[in-house]
Structure formats: C-alpha cells, structure tokens
A and B are shown apart, each in its own frame.
Chain A
Amino acid sequence: MPQMIACFKWVVDEAYIRVGASGDLDMNAVDYKISDYDKNALEEAARIREQAGGSVTAVTVGVPEATKGVKDALSRGAEKAFFIQDPSFRDLDPSQTARILAAVIQSRIPYDLILCGEGSSDLYARQVGPQLAELLGIPCLSFVQKLTVEGDRVVAERRTDEGQEVCTAPMPVLVTVLPDINTPRIPSVRDTLMASKKEVVPVRKEDLPDISSPFLETVSMKGTSLKRSGTRFTEDPGDVKAFVDTLLQKGVLK
C-alpha cells in the first residue's frame, strides 16, 4: 500500500506560442496544460493504487493562478494536492524547483514512491526528478517504461541507450516515467467536478527556506526560425520531373 507523490508542472501549451517577425515569442494567446509526461506520472500513480492500494498526493510548484492545474491533477486520480505557490515561481530553473519540492516533501509529506515525468514539455531539461532524488537521499530510476510494486520494492524496466534494463530498488524511491508507460485518461465529467471537493494544501514562499536565486540564469528566449524557401510542386508527372531536376541542381543527388 504505497504512499505515492506525483509531481506535476502547469506549463504553457507550446501549440499556442507564436513567433513574431523579429523572432520574439508571442505568449499573448497561450493556454496552459499539465505537462504531458506529468500526466503519465499521475496516471501511473493512480494505476498502482488500483492494483496495490495506497494513496496519491499531487504536488506542484507554480504561480497562484495555477489553480486550474491543481484541479486538473485532482481529476486524474490524486486524492489530495500540495500547491506550492508564489508569483515569483513563474520561471524557476530546475534546481530551484527541485530544492523547493525537496524542502516541502521532506518536512510535510510522507512517501514511499515519488513519480515524475521524464521532463517537462516547456524546457525539457529533464533534471528535476533526479535532482529531487539526490536532495532527498533516495535512489532514482529514470526513463522508466514499466513499473511494478512488489511488497516494499519496485521493479522498473528502463530504456537505456543500449536497450533495456530491468532494475529493482527498495522504497522509498523516485521514478521518472516515459510516455510509453501508460495512456493518461481523459477525466470524466464527474472526475472534474469531484476535483474541487478534494483537499488542497497551499504552501507559501514564506513557509520555505530561502531558495531565491537560480543556479542557471536565462538571459534570453528567442524563437527559432525553421522557415525555408518552400518551392511547391503538384503531383503531375511534369512537376515530379521538375522536382527531381531541382534536386540535381542542388547537388544532393549523385
């Protein structure tokens, strides 16, 4: 019956970002979402609870406006949420997030298993999970495609560069999951409505040790330009020939 924590981040949905003419990012029309792989983490926790019992607490670090994200997480199987919030938590570097999570988890949330997404869809630095494990002094199993709880241990199938590796470790342990591990549910109407009735514990910056400065400072964030010349051809045989001729001209055919 493991006590589980699922960490999630409320991020800008990159599908709505527009790149301006000067290369600046236009965030005016953006919507937000729970980072994709974090949904897998929440889903995995819910799945394990169904099989092995236990509990699921969702934890997030973000700005006070992220209340919708907390509700979203609670509609995905978590029973309770810790909402660590401050306006200054908008653009934290991974080390700050990890330190904040470690401070709150250590002092306030008992756990056997912590689940994180492999990386967040905005920065995709893939650091918070392993850093959190290191700060808590617990083992970390990353890039997990399949997870089982066996008594007081977990068995994880990890994707490595060479192939696959099956590991086991005693709890408490932290696991970062790949999207292959499961398919996150689409919450039912009832799931969403019940989310507002669940407990949300707010944690303010004042309640935390001082974690003011980032280790890594972002100097700029500019849109990349992937646009190219874009000559179009139709599917007519004449055009296909012209296409091949162009390839020849560009010297890419031998």
Chain B
Amino acid sequence: MAGIWILGENRELTGELLTAGGELAAATGEKISVLLWKDRSGAEAYFALGADEILVLPELPEDVPPEALIPVITGEAKTSHPGLILLPATVRGREMAARVAAGLGTGLCSDAVAVRWNGERKTFEMERLAYGGMAVQKVVFRTAPAMATIPPRTFAPAQAKEGRTGTVRELPGPPPSPVTVVERKKRERTARDLREARIIVCAGRGIEKQEDLRIARELAEALGGEIACTRPLSEEYHWLPEDLCIGLSGISVKPELYIGLGVSGQVQHITGIRDAKVIAAVNKDENAPIFQTADLGIVGDLYGVVPNLIQEIRKAGGQ
C-alpha cells in the first residue's frame, strides 16, 4: 500500500476526512495525501491537520465540470498506488468516486458510516446503511485501493497541530471534456446550517397548508431552534428549500432535541434523525410509525397541541 488519499472538496469536508484518514494512517502506518481541488489558498493549513503531501489538481475553466478531473485522478492513482482513497459523499464526490473506482477496477463503499483497518486480515472494513436505513451492511475489500465516500459530519473536523509540514506537487492538466457547463445557479442558502442546530422542529405532511408552517416556526422560536421538513414538503410541495429536508436523500442531523409535527416517521426520514439525543413527536394518528422511534410522543392534533406546548414552554422559562 502506498498512502491514503483524501479528495479535498472544501476546507470543512477535507477536515472531517482528515480525521478519518488520521485514524487509519495511525493504524496502517501510511502517509496521507490531500488532493486539493477547490479552495487552493492556505494549502499549508492541511499540513497542520495531518496531511503529509498535497497534490494540486489543475484549475478548470468556468465551462468545464469537475468530473473532467477524473482521468487525472485515475492516472495518478495508477502510478502512485494509494491503498485507500476517501472522498466526501457529496453530489460531485459520489460521481467522481464511482468513476475513479471503475477506472481502477476496484471496489467502492458508498456513504460509509464507519471505516476500520483490520490488521489481521490486512483489509479495510466498512459499514453503510441499506434498505432505506433499515439495515447495516458490513463490507470488506477484495481489491486495492479501497475506496469510500463518507457523508458530511460523520467525523468531527481534524484538530490542527502546529509545526507539521509536507510536500506540494502539481498534477498534470486534464484531457478535454466532452461535457460543457452552460449555466450555474446557486441555491439560496438558508441562514443557518441545520446540521449545527441544537433543537429542530420538523414539519411533516400533517401540516395542511404552507401558511401553517408558521406553527412550526413559532414552536422553533419558543425553543430557540430551527425548522426543517420531511421530503414531501420540500421536493413535492416546494414549501421549504431542499437544504431543510431531513432524510435519506436529504440531510442527517444530530440535534439534542428533534420534534416532529405531523411527521409519520417513514424509515427514510428516521434515518436522518437516528442520532438525535431526544426524539419527540406530535401526531394525531396513534399508529404512526414515528411513535416507535420516539422517546416522547403526544397523540393529538398538532393544531390544538402546539399552541398549548408553546405556552407551557414559555412558562417553563424557555424563550
């Protein structure tokens, strides 16, 4: 094996991957290389976070998509033979990982939630979710390099250690790409990142119309929390932006308190809140699956319950 590679999509994600990489480097005695892709300034910061080497990917013109870098990465991997390649499980990261894996003829564990080195069997063991979050799949690799995409926030960001240095190397330019980017539209970011929220109030299909989201917002305010929603409210009704959607195809959160209002509790949504400290729910259907996964549940009509709830919270000295 010759090194652990990390694809650096941005500072935050690279920091998290460096934590994972750091643990594995310690276990395997390998060196860490960061493939710097965007955000070239302050490459030295990565040395402090654990990188031994920085490989700088070529800059791309505006109308060339990042996937054009795939032949560069694959080419370099064929020469350098890393033992493990970690990429972030983002839209870009996933596609690049799959194509690099195909180019190298190797296995890829998508959305790995745990990564381990088995010193005895000399292989990487990883875990990921399957069947909509209902099962945990444990895998080992039969090929090298081992590859994995890791969802954001699976690992905490690496801690900087002063005094570390390393080498920097430029990678060759990419071959021409047949794909042309015609336009890019930035999504309006909501003010807060849901993944940092301590308290989340999640609106589900029990909310009957868009104006009634106000009920969820009022509760969130009383608790000092943020609002979020289940998939239908953002992807079907478009009541809230996609980055407030929690679930398998949305985001995963780890708040101290999650309260679902009119959320039925389908497994694809629950997957996104499984690490919450306390899960609470308000739903008028006492058979709703969410009551199986909640610590506390109020069986009742949210339209009647939530105003009372807000009152009690204020009385208890909330906000």
Contacts and interface: CB of A to CB of B under 8 A. Distances in A.
Direct contact of A and B (CB under 8 A): yes
Interface of A: 12, 14, 17, 19, 25, 93-95, 98, 121-127, 129-135, 139-143, 155, 158-170, 173, 179-180, 213-224, 226-235, 237, 239-241, 243-248, 250, 252-254
B192 to A, nearest CB: 17
Given A121-B132, A167-B179, A233-B297, A253 B313 contact: yes
The 3 closest A-B pairs by CB, nearest first: A235-B300, A215-B107, A216-B107
B19 interface: no
19 contacts: A14-B134, A122-B130, A125-B128, A139-B178, A140-B67, A167-B65, A216-B108, A217-B139, A224-B136, A226-B293, A227-B292, A227-B293, A230-B294, A230-B295, A234-B300, A243-B298, A247-B280, A247-B296, A252-B199
B223 interface: yes
A127 to B, nearest CB: 4
Contacts of A241: 312
A167 B101 contact: no
A215 B141 contact: yes
Q: Which of B107, B111, B292 has the most CB of A within 10 A?
A: B107
A218 B316 CA distance: 50
Contacts of A121: 132
Interface stretch (B29-37, B43-51, B161-169, B181-189): B181-189
Nearest to B304: A235
Given A134-B102, A234-B298, A235-B301, A17 B134 contact: yes
B102 A95 contact: yes
Interface stretch (B75-83, B87-95, B206-214): B87-95
Nearest to B223: A253
Nearest to A155: B182
Contact of A246 (B92, B101, B186, B296): B296
A14 B318 contact: no
A168 B182 contact: yes
B197 interface: no
A141 B180 CA distance: 11
Nearest to B286: A232
Contacts of B95: 130, 140, 142-143
Interface stretch (B20-28, B52-60, B270-278): B270-278
Nearest to A163: B187
Given A121-B132, A130-B95, A228 B298 contact: no
A218 B140 CA distance: 7
Q: Which of B128, B131, B182 has the most CB of A within 10 A?
A: B131
A61 to B, nearest CB: 16
A167 B134 contact: no
B142 A122 contact: no
Contacts of A132: 102
B5 interface: no
Contacts of B97: 127
B221 interface: no
A245 to B, nearest CB: 8
B19 to A, nearest CB: 20
A213 B139 CA distance: 14
B247 to A, nearest CB: 12
Contacts of B224: 254
Given A239-B298, A253-B313, A167 B102 contact: no
